[in-house]
Amino acid sequence: CLLTKSKRVRKIGKNKIVLRAVDLLSQYCEDAFFITLVPDVRSNLTTFYQDTLINSNPVGFSEWDVRNWGYIAWAEVEDFCKRHGLVETLQVFEFNLGQIYDKH
């Protein structure tokens, strides 16, 4: 999580949009164990989570509770960047076209 209890301090800069995202996500930090950035569309992620992951019980990991897992798709990050005019980040998406995720 961006907010850490360890001695290591994570610097996220002063970008107002990033700071707003940290503020919005911080309320979930205590309950989140994993947040994954996935190269797929949200509908596929939701289907996988609901149909496969939520019912899985991996051997040796009986204490895992996937209700504390979150996910976000690269397409959602790109949409966010477009809505907020993050031109430099969008240029990175363009430069890595086909490598970050496959646009549908």
Residue 20 falls inside a structural domain: yes
Total structural domains within the chain: 2
**One-letter amino acid for residue 56 of the chain:** S
Q: Which residues constitute the domain of residue 86?
A: 33-95
- Return d(Cα 79, Cα 97) in angstroms, integer: 15
38 with 27, same domain: the answer is no
pTM of the complete model:
0.54
Strands (DSSP E) found in 1-104? 34-38, 69-73
51 with 87, same domain: the answer is yes
- Return d(Cα 82, Cα 98) in angstroms, integer: 18
The values of phi and psi at residue 2, to 5°, are -65, -30
69 with 18, same domain: the answer is no
pLDDT of residue 1: 45
63 with 88, same domain: the answer is yes
pLDDT of residue 2: 47
25 with 50, same domain: the answer is no
**Residues in the chain with pLDDT < 70?**
1-13, 29, 31-35, 102-104
Residue 100 falls inside a structural domain: no
27 with 63, same domain: the answer is no
17 with 39, same domain: the answer is no
pLDDT of residue 82: 94
- Return d(Cα 27, Cα 78) in angstroms, integer: 23
pLDDT of residue 59: 74
- Return d(Cα 63, Cα 4) in angstroms, integer: 23
